[in-house]
Amino acid sequence: MRETPNLIGAVTTIVIYCLYILLFGFRIIGLPKLGHWLASLQFLSVLPFVYLLFTVRKYNRPIIFIIQVLLFLTFLVLELIIDYLFKFDFRQTRWMVIAYVTYFFAASGGLLGLVALMENRIWTILGVGLFLVMGAMAFISRAVTGI
């Protein structure tokens, strides 16, 4: 039974990484609105992450697990507010971009801890690989498009 929450965390993380890879890929090929729409699916991850927070005591999770999940959930709230609700154009202000990108990588990188809970190391390899691809594509997208 312990595998179920681990699988939920790992699959959710992998799906999120794939969504971001698609977002950056669509930006690079000149379809940023499609990428933005597709990336809105990231907000569905709130459900499994909240579930994982409710299972913390049952599965005796360490405090770092809680921090990793909450860090990403707070990133989603930030993303919802600045990018979807108010559509704040912060990507042209250097210090805001640096703060946003730092928080993005801290939040999404923290999810690797959820993937690492799977006993089969292929999940960790897949997670790390997708995270690195996502990171590279984020910087390539910024260089190509400025967003």
Q: Where are the domains of the chain?
A: 3-145
The stretches of the chain forming alpha helices (DSSP H) are 3-28, 32-39, 46-54, 63-79, 94-110, 112-115, 121-145
- CA distances in angstroms from 108 to 1, 67, 98, 111, listed in the order given: 26, 12, 15, 5
For residue 141, pLDDT over 90 is answered with: yes
pLDDT bracket for residue 89 (50, 70, 90) = confident
Cα(84)–Cα(142) distance, integer angstroms: 19
For residue 95, pLDDT over 60 is answered with: yes
pLDDT of residue 2: 61
Q: Hey, what amino acid is at 120? A: N
Output phi, psi for 34, to 5 deg.
-65, -45
Q: What is the mean pLDDT of residues 61-83?
A: 96
pLDDT of 9-52, one tens digit each?
999 999 999 999 999 999 999 999 999 899 999 999 999 999 99
Please state, rounded to an integer, the average pLDDT across all residues of the chain: 94
pLDDT of residue 138: 96
Output phi, psi for 72, to 5 deg.
-70, -40
Task: Please report the sign of the dihedral spanned by the C-alpha atoms of residue 89, residue 17, residue 36, residue 46.
Answer: negative
pLDDT of residue 88: 87
Please give the span between the terminal C-alpha atoms of the chain, in angstroms, as a whole number. 43
Longest dimension (CA), the chain: 47
pLDDT bracket for residue 73 (50, 70, 90) = very high
